[in-house]
Chains A and B, each alone.
Chain A
Amino acid sequence: MKLFDPTSTPVQREVKLARAPERLDGLRLGLVDNTKFNSDTLLAKLAERLGRRHGMQVALTSRKRSPSHELDEGAVEALRTRADLVISGIGD
């Protein structure tokens, strides 16, 4: 009895993770709004609270084309170079 496997294994891709910051104080903050309902409101509130508690400044905000789309490479690069910490979300 021979079975033919119809499945595919995801292609392996190396992903380099950024090092977690040791302190939050004074970090440059990046926000990624995925366009879900109220995501902009929630991100703004988070940023405000982080600013108040840790003196973090929003360096840039990226808005995705839709929740289904990935962030484009240009936006990823901008976040990489201009932000120390990025908050992405939200779900619903």
Chain B
Amino acid sequence: MGELDGAPDVARLIEAYYDAGWTDGLPVMPPTEASIAAMLAGAGLRGDEVVGEIAGRNAVVTAEKLAINAVLAGCRHEYAPVVAAAVRALCAPDFAYHGPASSTGGSAIVLIVGGPIARRIGLNSGNNAFGQGHRPNATIGRAVRLVMMNALNTRPGLLDRATLGNPGKYSFCFAENEDGHPWEPLHVARGLAREDSAVTVYASNSLYQVYNQLAATPEPLLLCMADTLGNLGSPNLRGFNESLVVFAGEHAELLVTSGWSRKDVQRFLMEHTRRSVADLKRAGRLPGAVAGADEAAWRYVFEVPEDILIAFAGGRAGSWSACLPGWGKKWTRSVTVRVDAPPVDRRTA
């Protein structure tokens, strides 16, 4: 007896999508005409509209393909505006898609969502913000990855040449915690209005959780972060790159009560995230033998404070924050795009 003998149609459909090579390895939600139409309505787009294109690959993402991939990923139609905005950001020239999508570095595409839509669709910004358990977080990031694989032909072993990759390549989407945020959310810091909804797309090789339970002022905590961002194995010590820092729990509270501004934190990290030329040479991150002056010669990881992106997310309890070093010097830049949700959702009105 075959494995699918007697199986319901949906199981056969799921297997058919596997057979076609259209999944990320997890089972997909088989689309229907109705679910694709609902996804398009949720995005406020017509099927033939072009959402984005990557000129160097002659690749175009139409709204129809975006909708199919969003359904496959398990998105509800209310999530479609966020998926569409993320794809527009991916295709922005500053993001320079080819590098972060295809590099051996195996970046996750991190989506940071801010503004009213995050709360409206139930995106998690609290406990376990990077983890499992919330449909919008799990499926929006997954939809973007499926668009990359299916519509932008970025498949493992072909145009995705990741040496190891990382689990964030399945999905990496979270919302900023805007309640109790010590400063303005990331999208506001980047020029949008507080009442705007937005998604920031950022390529990161890795996620380090940073622990410090004893810091009573920001400096010791930020020294831990600077050390993490500047560790000798970090990909881009030789050049200036962006990095994302996410403060959570007790660390966020420490910054609030200490009266430090976003700029203060960025400046401190910029000044302290550095390695000596001697360290870099000993570790083979710079060529040549160590010379006397190398011990006191410094290489800085960041060029300007704005290279350090700061977000707030995570639960209130715990002495944890996170550093996510960026992929590739300034070969890619994070991009923030406004989420254009239809004024009235035709499916729920």
Do A and B come from the same complex?
yes
Spell out A's residues near B (CB within 8 Å): 1, 3-8, 10-13, 66-70
**Does B55 contact A5, Cβ atoms closer than 8 Å?**
no
**Does B22 contact A6, Cβ atoms closer than 8 Å?**
yes
Chain B, range 187-226, C-beta contacts under 8 Å to A = none
B98 at the binding interface (Cβ < 8 Å)? yes
**Does B12 contact A1, Cβ atoms closer than 8 Å?**
yes
In angstroms, Cα B100 to Cα A66, docked, is: 12
B168 at the binding interface (Cβ < 8 Å)? no
B256 at the binding interface (Cβ < 8 Å)? no
In angstroms, Cα B100 to Cα A9, docked, is: 21
In angstroms, Cα B203 to Cα A66, docked, is: 15
Known contacts A4-B68, A6-B150, A68-B328; A11/B96 CB under 8 A: no
Chain B residues with CB under 8 A of A1: 9, 12-13, 16
Chain A residues with CB under 8 A of B72: 6
Expressed in whole angstroms, the minimum distance between the Cβ of A52 and any Cβ of chain B is 26
The interface bits of chain B over 16-43 (1 if a CB of A lies within 8 angstroms of the residue's CB, else 0) are 1100101000000011000010000000
Known contacts A12-B58, A66-B328; A6/B65 CB under 8 A: yes
B329 at the binding interface (Cβ < 8 Å)? yes
- Measured CB to CB, the nearest residue on chain A to B93 is A69
B146 at the binding interface (Cβ < 8 Å)? yes
**Does A8 contact B98, Cβ atoms closer than 8 Å?**
no
The interface bits of chain B over 96-137 (1 if a CB of A lies within 8 angstroms of the residue's CB, else 0) are 111110000000000000000000000000000000000000
- Measured CB to CB, the nearest residue on chain B to A64 is B331
In angstroms, Cα B68 to Cα A7, docked, is: 9
In angstroms, Cα B151 to Cα A6, docked, is: 7
**Does A3 contact B20, Cβ atoms closer than 8 Å?**
yes
